[in-house]
Amino acid sequence: MEVGSTGEVKRGIYRRIFIRSAMLAIWVVGLLFVAFTDESGTMRTYYIRMSLILAVAWVIYLVRDYRFLKNDDLLRRVSVKRYDERNMLITYKATRLTVVALLCSIPVAICLMSAFGMQEAANTLAVITAVFAVVYAVSWVAFSRLC
């Protein structure tokens, strides 16, 4: 099967539907769990609204993907767009810039948070940044050996 064929794109769409559905289900269940175990009730409405927004986004994505699966012309356009080298390069460069910008700006935010007495938030952000950097380094090593 050639790269970018409609069969491959359909499998990709089904895979995306499965992964997105699993991820959003975990988020919605987690948010609802937090909302209904919040004893003070101060954040309950916020978490319930977030759950509803995520559910609506999931339905919108599901409808869009269903349209792609049922319309061969749309599927061909998605295939061309996905496997176009220019679009792949743009996606790569945008992702790389985002990662580098985050890894450079988050330490500044940590310093500012520490300076303004938000030590707990600074520590949390530092741990998240460290995990992010480790995942980035491991994935870089893995891909450099594979490619």
Domain ranges of the chain: 1-83, 85-147
**Lookup: tokens for 138:** 């491991």
**Lookup: tokens for 103:** 């890894």
pLDDT, residue 28, reads 84
pLDDT, residue 4, reads 54
Q: 0.75 exceeded by the pTM?
A: no
**Radius of gyration, alpha carbons of the chain:** 20
| Alpha carbon distance 1, 61 (integer Å) | 27
Q: What are phi and psi of 134, to 5 degrees?
A: -65, -45
Q: What is the pLDDT along the chain (147 residues), one digit of tens a residue?
A: 345 567 777 888 888 889 888 988 888 888 888 878 877 777 788 888 888 888 898 899 889 888 888 888 888 887 777 777 888 889 889 998 998 898 889 989 999 999 999 999 999 999 998 998 899 889 989 988 887
DSSP state of 118: -
Whether 43 and 53 have beta carbons less than 8 Å apart is answered as no
| Alpha carbon distance 90, 94 (integer Å) | 6
Q: Give the per-residue SS3 of 36-55.
A: HHCCCCCCHHHHHHHHHHHH
pLDDT, residue 108, reads 92
Give the HSE-up count for residue 98: Cα atoms under 13 Å, Cβ half-sphere: 7
47 Cβ contact partners less than 8 Å away, ≥ 6 residues apart: 31, 32, 34, 35, 38
pLDDT, residue 1, reads 39
